[in-house]
Amino acid sequence: MPQLISAPGLTTGHAPFVEEARHRGELYITQAYDLYTEENHEAWRQLYRRIRPRWEQYANDHFLRGIEALDLPSDHIPRLSEINKRLQPLTGFQAKPVSGYVPGFLFFDCLRRREFPTTITIRPVDRMDYLPEPDIFHDVAGHIPMHTEKSFADVLVRFGDCAHTAVEITALITDEAERNRRLVNIIKAMSRFFWFTVEFGLMRGKRGLVAYGSGLLSSYGELQHAIESPEVQRYPVQLEWLINQGAEIDRYQPLLFVVDSFDHLFALVDKLENWMRDGKLNNVAPGLPEVHENDLRSFLDAA
Ligand SMILES: [Fe+2]
């Protein structure tokens, strides 16, 4: 009798298609849509149905319009080609499937080209709430609806410019140790900026406080917690605080920053770049996130 082996599909931590690509050194891959199992689609369905009412309550209006504009499916994992067909005419952005972590410079440079590195795997159905790495629900349901909004898309592109500025100004430093030290600090400051805005940002909107950060918008538990819990400190964004504030990786954020608008956020990215040029990011407070060797290497290689 033939043995029944359940197909691994494209499940986080168990996706041979993705692992083999990574093993071959391939960062950019295809979505391989036919590999998704019924269980993978079921995970999407459950995640979507559970969070939808919370989006209506706590997400910013641009995000809600983005969901409609993309016609984001509720009952199956979306095909990135179909998402891109609707997304590209709006802001020029496209989801680009990747096999795993994209090192710092390459990631920011993708944003500058209006490409969003997108994970294709989905979390297992028995681990709906906590996942240490991004999956397609985080990337496509959390990030991509925001990319339909021009003012937000422009922020991401501008942020990509800053990565180029970092390369340009540090390439002039001849002392290798000093160049690396400064780059690590600049990358840390940029990562913190990204973390506290694009991933976990709050905005003051017509309906009161709402979320625009994708880490919040893709988390059923933290989305409500971020807006409602008295345990969360919420402060108007201040660049000097944000670039020196350590991030929390394994628990709900105790501290969140609020912007007034995406024009406000864009102006902050301009300020970040000016501060980088003025040397104000050369020695930020220690703490998370760690800057890994391959992140540093990606900036050095770009020079
Ligand atoms: Fe993210």
Q: Say if residue 167's pLDDT is above 70.
A: yes
| Global confidence as pTM | 0.95
Task: Convert the pLDDT of each residue in 37-64 to its tens digit.
Answer: 999 999 999 999 999 999 999 999 999 9
Closest by CA to 77, choosing from 37, 115, 116, is: 37
Chain Cα centroid distance, residue 283: 25
Sequence-distant (6+) residues with CB within 8 A of 109 are 160, 163, 164, 302
What is the Cα–Cα distance from 282 to 182, expressed in whole angstroms?
5
Mean pLDDT, to the nearest integer, of 239-250?
94
Question: Measured in angstroms, how far is the CA atom of residue 292 from the centroid of ligand 1?
Answer: 17
DSSP assignment of 230-263 equals TTSEEEE--HHHHTTPPPPSSS--SEEEEES-HH
Confidence band of 6 (pLDDT split at 50, 70, 90): low
Question: Measured in angstroms, how far is the CA atom of residue 280 from the centroid of ligand 1?
Answer: 26
Q: What is the pLDDT of residue 249?
A: 84
Question: Measured in angstroms, how far is the CA atom of residue 200 from the centroid of ligand 1?
Answer: 9
Question: Measured in angstroms, how far is the CA atom of residue 138 from the centroid of ligand 1?
Answer: 6
- Residue 117 one-letter amino acid: P
Give the alpha-carbon dihedral of 238, 243, 249, 253, to 10 degrees.
-10
Question: Measured in angstroms, how far is the CA atom of residue 265 from the centroid of ligand 1?
Answer: 17
Task: Convert the pLDDT of each residue in 174-215 to its tens digit.
Answer: 999 999 999 999 999 999 999 999 999 999 988 899 999 999
What is the Cα–Cα distance from 276 to 24, expressed in whole angstroms?
36
Specify whether the CB–CB gap between 60 and 212 falls below 8 A.
Answer: yes
Question: Measured in angstroms, how far is the CA atom of residue 135 from the centroid of ligand 1?
Answer: 9
Q: Which residues of 162-177 are buried (b: 16+ CB within 10 A; e: fewer)?
A: bbbebbebbeeeeeee
Mean pLDDT, to the nearest integer, of 141-147?
98
Task: Convert the pLDDT of each residue in 70-85 to its tens digit.
Answer: 999 999 999 999 999 9
Q: Say if residue 2's pLDDT is above 50.
A: no
Question: Measured in angstroms, how far is the CA atom of residue 27 from the centroid of ligand 1?
Answer: 17
Question: Measured in angstroms, how far is the CA atom of residue 1 from the centroid of ligand 1?
Answer: 45
Question: Measured in angstroms, how far is the CA atom of residue 121 from the centroid of ligand 1?
Answer: 14
DSSP 73: -
Specify whether the CB–CB gap between 203 and 60 falls below 8 A.
Answer: yes
Q: What is the pLDDT of residue 259?
A: 98
Question: Measured in angstroms, how far is the CA atom of residue 6 from the centroid of ligand 1?
Answer: 30
Give the mean pLDDT of the chain. Answer: 96
What is the Cα–Cα distance from 156 to 28, expressed in whole angstroms?
20
Question: Measured in angstroms, how far is the CA atom of residue 194 from the centroid of ligand 1?
Answer: 9
Q: What is the pLDDT of residue 94?
A: 98
DSSP element (H, E) containing 116: strand 115-119
Q: Say if residue 3's pLDDT is above 50.
A: no
Q: Say if residue 1's pLDDT is above 80.
A: no
Mean pLDDT, to the nearest integer, of 128-153?
94
